[in-house]
Amino acid sequence: MIFNSLAFASFFILFFFLYWFVFNRSVKIQNLFLLAACYIFYAWHNWHLLILLLLSTVVTYLLGFAIHNAPTHKIKNQWLYTGLVIFVGLLLYFKYTNFFLQSFASLTQKPFTPLDIILPLGISFYTFRLLSYLFDIKNGKFKPVDDWVVFFSYVSFFPSVISGPIDRPKTLVPQLEQPRKFNHDQAVDGLRQILWGLLKKTVVADNCAVLSNYAFDTPNLHGPVLIAGAFFYTIQIYADFSGYSDMAIGVAKLMGFNITRNFNYPYFSQNVAEFWRKWHISLTSWLTDYIFTPASLQFRDYANWGLIIAIILTFLTSGLWHGANWTFVLWGFLHGCYYIPLILKGKMNKKKEIPADRVWPTFTELRNIAATFILVMFTFVLFRSADISSAFAYYRNIFVFTPSAASKPISFYGISIVFSAAMFMMEWLSRGKQHPLEGLNLKWPQVARWSFYILAVALIMTFTRHEQQFIYFKF
């Protein structure tokens, strides 16, 4: 059951009616119904793996009290390390067992048959959510949640359990504890954000996917076709993942919640540090707080080089979090290396925001945006490739300017360019907003507004390609 499916639309319409008009007598009853809906949503994909989510939630709930009530700092750490061993161990087993065994087999030149291990949906996301809860309790930033229904709902919150955003306890738990009243303006804004997310996913991302899949999956392609493939994949992954995040945030708004913003127009960034402040924001902030900050303190005696080590460790963690493949490790390492010039020049934390009320960027700003986009596009070849050798072959063939064995019709490229350009134009003009359709009723006449809605729905219906999965579901 994915957001761009009829199954989810049916599920959510029924849920919405019951949530606001039947189970709204008290916050306790409403949360119990929400929790039941969260488990139904998760079990729809694979009910066996719901057991793992339940057990992980119970263990975290108990560990939270154990850490909070521990009489000494040493015992607090012992309980925290217990949680780390359990949850990192589960993540390593389900996600990385075959990766480690295959790497070992390659080193020893022994045959390897992958183990039949099913990857639990959303395990990378909800594991980080569980760990942040334990870290925050241990650091005195958050108290254990007494109401188990609230805590279980926080962990399994269905708009974001599968692909984020990775909400911290202080963001979502207080909202679950408070009574909620239906807010018309919030709901309308949520519907608009869902519409914008659907547009990005079905019209932009899925059309770009036709071209990027062709470039990455077809042998004997060279030069411009491969450059185009990398370019369209860079747009695809943004439109796909940010589209999912928009829909998750919009669905949460319809339920009366404000969850973490995950993207802030990252392709308008002028350097890589700014890009990562705006790309997958919930993951970046998580890694900053729990990996980078402790590591930078540990290596502070080494000045800039200590900072570089902390950055690279953080991005290696990010790479491993994304998947069990050396391509992700190298992807993370390269992004860490991109920071080195910024650190040595003392520019890592300097912000270069272009004012939202300025229509055109300067030549220098446009040059910086283009350079950052190209650097990101270069590493996304690794992100998309099946393995290291395929990625290197892709890089090598980019510079071979001979006619390719086959080529997609030019109309495929034209459609994707037009839709991508329209998306970026709307986002550029809406840089000061949470999403481009925010406050649409204040700026557009009613006729223009409803014409846009009709056009958007028509495009979604025309270009929906058999309920395509979201890229980040596999992480």
> Quick count: other Cβ atoms within 10 Å of Cβ 217?
12
Q: CA separation (Å) from 290 to 33, 88, 134, 286?
A: 33, 14, 11, 6
Cβ pair 375, 338 in contact under 8 A: yes
CA distance 413 to 238: 18
Q: Which amino acid type is present at position 153?
A: S
- Compute the C-alpha angle 307/308/314, nearest 5°: 90
CA distance 249 to 246: 5
Phi (first) and psi of residue 125, to 5 degrees: -75, -50
CA distance 70 to 451: 61
Cβ pair 64, 137 in contact under 8 A: yes
Q: Exactly one of 68, 73, 222, 322 is catalytic; name it.
A: 322
CA distance 420 to 235: 7
Question: Is 335 assigned a catalytic role?
Answer: no
Q: CA separation (Å) from 37 to 156, 157, 381, 447?
A: 10, 9, 38, 37
Q: Which amino acid type is present at position 214?
A: Y
Kindly tell me the sign of the dihedral angle through the C-alpha atoms of 437, 228, 164, 355.
negative
CA distance 44 to 281: 28
- Compute the C-alpha angle 467/472/475, nearest 5°: 130
Q: Which amino acid type is present at position 251?
A: V
Say if residue 341 is preceded by a cis peptide, omega within 30 of 0: no
- The DSSP-derived string for 284-331 is HHHHIIIIIHHHHHHTGGGHHHHHHHHHHHHHHHHHHHH-SSHHHHHH
- The DSSP-derived string for 91-103 is HHHHHHHHHHHHH
CA 166 to chain centre: 8
- The radius of gyration computed from the CA coordinates of the chain, to the nearest angstrom, equals 23
Cβ pair 310, 292 in contact under 8 A: yes
CA atoms within 13 A on the CB side of 342: 21
Q: Which residues are catalytic?
A: 322
